Structure 1
Amino acid sequence: MRRIPLTEFAKEHGHTKAAQMLGCTQGALSKAIRVGRDVFVTVEEDGTLSAQEQRPFPSQRSVA
């Protein structure tokens, strides 16, 4: 098992391919990186992928 930050995963595979691999759009992936979301991609031994966002608990939403 390998766990890497989303930014590194996107650099390694390119934003478009990384988004396809994770089942999201390139725009969603780019926005997550741009706004600094704390997302990690886990690559299992069999090649399956999953992505998790690490957030504090309890999470405080910012009120704008």
Structure 2
Amino acid sequence: MKETSLDQFVAEKGQSEAARLLGVTPPAIYKAIAAGRRIRVIEISDGAFQASELRPFPSQPKLQVA
């Protein structure tokens, strides 16, 4: 099982092919990379690819109550 960042995956496969392999559109790939999202792509045993995002929890900052 190989794991890589989305931007490295796109560099290896190309934006259109990466989008096809992940089941999204090329603009979605572009937006995710441009926004600096921390997405990891994993090649699973049957040769398919799966992507997941690493985000802090909770993702929204806490509101300060005065």
Q: Could you say whether these structures have the same fold, taking a TM-score greater than 0.5 normalized by the shorter chain as the test?
A: yes
- 1:3 maps to a residue whose letter is E
Give the corresponding residue for 1:5. 5
- Following superposition, the deviation at residue 60 of structure 1 comes to 1.1
- In structure 1, stretches of 5+ residues that fail to align are none
Structure with the greater alpha carbon radius of gyration: 2
- 2:57 maps to a residue whose letter is F
Structure 1 stretches (4+) deviating beyond 3 angstroms? none
Report which stretch shifted further, 38-47 or 3-12: 38-47
Overall identity of the aligned pairs, in % = 44
The alignment covers a number of residue pairs equal to 61
Distance 1:44 1:20 in 2: 16
Query: What is the TM-score with the length of structure 2 in the denominator?
Result: 0.87
- In structure 2, stretches of 5+ residues that fail to align are 62-66
Distance 2:15 2:48 in 1: 18
1:43-62 superposed Cα distances (whole Å, 9 cap, x missing partner): 0232121000000011116x
RMSD between aligned residues: 1.0
